[in-house]
Amino acid sequence: MISVVFLMILLYTSLNSMDKWGGPVDILSMNIMELQLLMKQLGQPAYRAVQVFEWLHQRYPSAAGGAFSFAGMNNLPAKLRDELDNQCYITPVSVEKELRAKDGTVKYLLAVGGDDPMPPRVNIESVLMEYNHGHSVCISTQAGCRMGCVFCATGHSGLLRNLSAGEMCMQVYAVNKPVRNIVMMGCGEPLDNFDQALRFIELITHPKGANLSQRHITLSTCGLIPQILELAKHKLQITLAVSLHGPDDATRQALMPIAKAHPVKDLLAACREYANTTRRRITFEYALTEGVNDSPAQARALANLLKGLLCHVNLIPVNPVGLTSLSPTKKREATAFAATLQEANIPATIRRTIGAEVDAACGQLRASQS
């Protein structure tokens, strides 16, 4: 459960950033406490805040496929709808293109943002994945990314801007399907957009909205140590996925420039503190790359590094992105790598690749029209 202190911090942050874009405010990123304050300012009873929140995060996404407008909130007084239309905005999100893979994966190229006072228009990508247990959506938290991981298409584009919590929510609503799981693993580094990422989790799990369980949310990070430690303080029940990709600094830095600022030793110490504080198992993402990080010696080093840590290793044969010459580890070597970890009592699995034929697999999102 998100603490009262955390809610007050979010409230303070939001109220002090309402005029960030000038004029009207981003209502889809507001929580119920903020909506109550807004209703008070508009001379409306507090219960109107819950009605507005339900329209934004529950009724409209299911009833109209994300076709948002204040005029459609037909259980609100006409005067209030007009005031909301004048004083607030809902950042538009439009589907520019859909690419469908044979395995059921759908990649969406989305346009988010618009004219002033809204955030600038940018393209992002989201992915809908079909599993036996239900639908999962991989969302973006930034347009572009400044982390520069060499195996990631997004990392080659640089950072355009952060996404708001509302824009993250709209990616979930835009697929217009019941969603069981959300992975914050699309374009961008969630912990580089810390406040809005946490705000998204608050909104998407609210019982008056989508009411998704925190345990069905995975947040992926390349390993920003201060933010991991700060996240631990909130004791969320999400799954934290840390991109490791190497058992030593030299290997990590060759694949992830940000690793120069976050040594493996310090990162693992932060992960241990996170696991001990939250009692949640950490997933370590490891992109198996032929001749770079997949040797038997590196498998043994990784097992030694993770000894005693509450964790699981997700081995991902690196996906081609057309920007590097990196090749995925062959199946036999990948299986042997996993076996070395398992023999050391480190849970490890090899991720099944889905969506690669439409460039929707891990590391392939680029947010381009091609």
175 and 64, same structural domain?
A: no
97 and 81, same structural domain?
A: no
130 and 45, same structural domain?
A: no
182 and 61, same structural domain?
A: no
| Listed residue (112, 92, 87, 75) closest to 35, CA to CA | 87
Q: How many domains does the chain have?
A: 2
Residue 334 and residue 313: Cα distance in Å, rounded?
12
- With a CB cutoff of 8 Å and minimum separation 6, the contacts of 248 are 264, 298, 301
Q: Is-contact 217 204, C-beta < 8 A? A: yes
Q: What is the pLDDT of residues 241-288, one digit of tens each?
A: 999 999 999 999 999 999 999 999 999 999 999 999 999 999 999 999
Domain-located, residue 367: no
99 and 78, same structural domain?
A: no
3-class secondary structure, 91: coil
Residues in the chain: 370
Domain-located, residue 247: yes
Domain-located, residue 37: yes
Residue 351 CB burial class (10 angstroms; 0-12, 13-18, ≥19): middle
Domain-located, residue 368: no
Active-site residue (options: 34, 125, 189, 202): 125
282 and 354, same structural domain?
A: yes
CATH of the domain at 98: 3.20.20.70
333 is catalytic: no
Domain-located, residue 364: no
70 and 104, same structural domain?
A: no
Domain-located, residue 175: yes
115 and 83, same structural domain?
A: no
Backbone angles phi and psi of 175, in degrees to 5: -75, -20
Boundary residue ending a domain (41, 63, 89): 89
134 and 47, same structural domain?
A: no
| Listed residue (280, 276, 300) closest to 348, CA to CA | 300
70 and 161, same structural domain?
A: no
Residue 99 and residue 368: Cα distance in Å, rounded?
12
Q: What is the pLDDT of residues 46-99, one digit of tens each?
A: 999 999 999 999 886 654 444 478 988 989 999 999 999 999 998 888 899 999
106 and 126, same structural domain?
A: yes
Residue 107 and residue 141: Cα distance in Å, rounded?
16
Boundary residue ending a domain (55, 89, 123): 89
Range of the domain at 73: 4-89
Residue 66 and residue 210: Cα distance in Å, rounded?
13
Structure tokens at 105: 């994966």
Domain-located, residue 25: yes
- pLDDT-derived band at 351, boundaries 50, 70, 90: confident
CATH of the domain at 45: 1.10.150.530
203 and 289, same structural domain?
A: yes
Q: What is the pLDDT of residues 307-321, one digit of tens each?
A: 999 999 999 998 775
Boundary residue ending a domain (63, 89, 115): 89
Active-site residue (options: 138, 145, 187, 362): 362
362 is catalytic: yes
Average pLDDT of 150-168?
Answer: 88
- pLDDT-derived band at 290, boundaries 50, 70, 90: very high
Q: Is-contact 35 54, C-beta < 8 A? A: no
